[in-house]
Amino acid sequence: MAARRCAALALLLLVGCATPDEVAEWIDPTDRGPKSDDMAPAPEPEPEPDPEPEPDAGFDLDAALDPEPDADLDLDGALDPEPDVGFDLDGAPDPEPEPDPEPEPPEWGLCAVDGVPGECRPTAECRGITTPGLCPGPADIQCCTDEEPPDPDPMDWGPCAVDGVPGTCIPADTCGGETTPGLCPGPADIQCCTDEEPPDPDPDPDPMDWGPCAVDGVPGDCIPADACEGFTTAGLCPGPADVQCCTAEEPPEPAPFDCDPDAHPQPNAGLSPPPGLDGCPDGMRRIAPDDFGAYCIDRWEASLIEVTPDGFELPWSPYHNPGAADVYAISAPDAIPQGYIDGVRAAGACEAAGKRLCTDREWLRACQWTDGRVFPYGPDRDPGVCNDARRLHPAVELFPDAPNPFAFIQDACINQLPDGLAPTGAHPGCVTEEGLYDMMGNLHEWTADPEGTFRGGFYVDTERNGPGCLYRTTAHNRQHWDYSTGFRCCADP
């Protein structure tokens, strides 16, 4: 016990809680520790114990011997502090992560299958689902999607008409009326279903009546080549290959085609839209359907006006995609309409003019009039009335030696070839009952479908994806553009 007390007093002296004199007073001078038996003196009477010295009022011996740890002291934290966030072991700031490199665009372009985006690539390189018929190039270049496209709604194939009798494209076995094949997109069993029987078709057309033509300004007639008594020129007439343009005099030698794809020709300089009709904006007219609200629509396919940074307004070259240029849409006759435009920029050009892209319903009503006709001018196809039958594909003509001419469908010179894209209104018979021109042929026309749809066909084809007004292309998303993509705007009255 004495040894323990001594240790405690030594500790007090060490930490400065007592002076040497105070420690000396607390030590019992008679306590010398144990002695051996042979050295023990005779017992002495036990002395009176000295009174206990009173410790300082502010000193607690027990607390000094067994102090409580500081509540704020974290030994683990002091021994193993967390490193500063954002620093590595060397004390230097962590570097910013390197951004992922931009993916290379696919060689054959983008595609979509019923709204599922994909890339055009060889089937052997696709690790997902391939869909043929949606990409340019050889047959093995197909649309590759990561997920399987949804099955289309078997009852949603759009409207149709048979000789002016309106109908709906549905599976033939679900039609409660009369079915007519060959007028609807999709599988062969998707047919035009009408409530009443269509009238008998017109008799076979006159094999000698294929319409007028011209060769470098020399007028002629489209007739069978063996019936021509003058000079024949192939590739300018609809119908079979032996139907050619027959002229009384020999056409002059065509000038060689000379085009710089980097040039920006301005064929629309000086053009402006005429006043609107029925209270609509310039270049537009009012459509008043019976089954939904009235709207205004461009009378001609759209062209563009650029607003320069210093505020000047200039025509934009219709042979180039507008990119980031500040442009707005106009509708005027005798203009080269704007091709080479994607759905996003077409919508932006309409909005910049206070308009919008037409919905599919609005576009179809404008093209088909009130009787649901298949062609803008009537129920039956009339070859040559619209700009829709160029025999030789312009990409093949411009790039005859290329392994894949369709890899160049954004080339600015394609729409500058002769007998290709026509000025708006140049085919006066290609007009609806309400005075809307070129809704069939000339250029595809983007609609407001967010998945990407353009309608009406173009100057090479108005049959492959449906006849006339029913022609509909849904194979591309809204970022797609090429020489054949154009648009017209709608607006609220």
Count of C-beta atoms within a 10 Å radius of residue 349: 27
Each residue's pLDDT, cut to its tens digit, for the chain (493 residues) gives 555 555 555 555 555 555 656 555 555 544 444 443 333 344 444 555 555 544 444 444 344 334 444 434 343 433 343 433 333 334 444 445 555 454 454 567 787 777 678 888 888 888 888 877 677 777 778 888 887 766 555 565 777 777 778 888 888 888 888 888 777 766 667 788 888 776 655 445 566 678 888 887 788 999 999 999 999 988 788 777 788 899 988 888 767 889 999 999 999 999 999 999 999 999 999 999 988 899 999 999 999 999 999 999 999 999 999 999 999 999 999 999 999 999 999 999 999 999 999 999 999 999 999 999 999 999 999 988 999 989 899 999 999 999 999 999 999 999 999 999 999 999 999 999 999 999 999 999 999 999 999 999 999 999 999 999 999 999 999 999 999 999 999 999 9
Same domain, yes or no, for 339 and 312? yes
442: which residues sit within 8 A by CB, 6+ positions away?
Answer: 301, 337, 386, 387, 388, 421, 422, 424, 427, 430, 458, 459, 486
Considering the domain boundaries, does residue 380 fall inside one?
yes
Check whether residue 67 and residue 140 sit in a common domain. Answer: no
Q: 80 and 119: one domain? A: no
Q: What angle do CA 366, 372, 375 make, to 5 degrees?
A: 70
- 330 and 186 both lie in a single domain: no
Number of domains in the chain: 4
Whether 338 and 377 map to the same domain: the answer is yes
Is there a single domain that holds both residue 83 and residue 5?
yes
Task: Give residue for tokens 């057309």.
Answer: 205
Task: Identify whether 321 is part of a domain.
Answer: yes
Where is the domain boundary, 90, 118, 134? Answer: 90
CA distance 306 to 327: 4
Residues 408 and 303 in one domain: yes
Are residue 292 and residue 400 in the same domain, yes or no?
Answer: yes
Query: Are residues 432 and 377 in contact, defined by beta-carbon separation less than 8 angstroms?
Result: yes
Do 416 and 438 fall within a single domain?
A: yes
Question: Looking at the structure, do residues 184 and 305 belong to the same domain, yes or no?
Answer: no
Distances (CA, A) of 100 to 97, 103, 105, 124, 406: 9, 8, 15, 26, 31
pTM (global) more than 0.95: no
Residues 81 and 164 in one domain: no
Q: Is residue 434 part of a domain?
A: yes
CATH of the domain at 313: 3.90.1580.10
Return d(Cα 337, Cα 430) in angstroms, integer.
15
Domain that holds residue 411: 284-491
The residue among 380, 383, 375, 390 whose CA lies nearest residue 420 is 390
Tell whether 217 is covered by a domain. Answer: no
What distance in Å separates the CA atoms of residue 428 and residue 444, rounded to the nearest whole number? 18
Amino acid residing at 211: G
Q: Is residue 330 part of a domain?
A: yes
Rounded Cα–Cα distance for residues 58 and 73 (Å): 24
Same domain, 428 and 288: yes
Judge whether 135 and 142 are in contact, CB under 8 Å. yes
- 268 falls within a domain: no
